Amino acid sequence: MSRQSLAGQLSRCSINTATLGHRQPLETIIEQVASLGFGWIAPWRRELEGRAPLTIARQIRDAGLRVSSYCRSTYIPSSDARTFAANLDDNRRAIEQAAQLGAESFVMVVGGMPEGSRDLPGAREQVREGLASLLEHAQQMDLPLALEPLHPMYAADRSCLSTLAQALDLCEQLEPSDSRYLGVAVDAYHCWWDPDLHLQIARAGAQRRLLGLHVCDWLVPTRDLLLDRGMMGDGVIDLAGLRHAMEDAGYRGPVEVEIFSFNNWWQRDPLEVLHTCAERLQSHC
Ligand code: ZN
């Protein structure tokens, strides 16, 4: 198995637009990402508001880019049936947009417990039920769903899905024989601490469920639970080791940079951020 660095391979790398702090129109970001030589981009739903997905898809293609993933789902669990149904409808619309964009997958951040609830198993059951329904839509749209487990510190409010093992259990349960439309996105920030990380990556790979690799770094100390992600190389994650484990398990998709950093990278010039991403991907990933 190759142990190459990403030097000279930016065509294999993707920029998740959240990395730039959602400060510019998507059209500008597409041009900037392409101008630095990246091969892929991962837009967010809010950036498509008021735009025709097919028009954006054409602009992305014309810029020489592909869409690594489309971010992200509306949280599924709710305290009442009507909102639960509305959440699923919202996700169905987003899955259609993802298909129109030609995205490799739609990223599912499944949500935590409804406000005021203390029923974590109940939230997980709603997620299972909701995903079973969305999976049918994904099959119709021919668009895979990438379940993204989040670090357990978000279990209450963002994702009751916390580990790769848990996500893969769900995949196996909902799509037992054919693994074409349900898989996982492995985000370094959420998964790096997991003692089972490499085992679960191998398990996912054997089932052809590795749909994405998101990179950033874990800063010590981390000053904000959400918005203090580090640039690759500034923290403690063995990012090259993670990528190699993914590739050993059969992953051939892009390496996507996703950095939420309110006080640092989101305050800097977007082109400086992109140049730094390019450099660190090649030296630290
Ligand atoms: Zn991610």
Q: Splitting the chain (285 residues) into consecutive groups of 10 residues, what average pLDDT does each group show?
A: 84 98 97 98 97 98 98 98 98 98 98 97 98 97 98 98 98 88 98 98 96 98 96 98 98 98 98 98 97
Separation of 8 CA from ligand 1 center, angstroms? 24
Q: 241 alpha carbon to ligand 1 midpoint, in Å?
A: 18
Six-digit token pair at 220?
Answer: 């010590």
Whole-number Å distance, alpha carbon 108 to ligand 1 midpoint, is 10
Percent of the chain with pLDDT over 70: 99
CA distance 108 to 149: 9
- Return the residue matching tokens 């995903």: 131
- Single pTM value for the model: 0.97
- Ligand 1: centre distance to CA 187 (Å): 5
Within a 13 Å sphere around the CA of 199, how many CA atoms are in the beta-carbon half?
7
CA-to-CA distance for 40 and 266, rounded, in angstroms? 20
CA 127 to ligand 1 centroid distance, Å: 18
Q: Is the distance from CB of 185 to CB of 103 less than 8 angstroms?
A: no
How many C-beta atoms surround the C-beta of residue 69 within 10 A?
A: 29
| pLDDT per position as a tens digit, 184-229 | 999 999 999 999 999 999 999 999 999 999 999 999 999 999 999 9
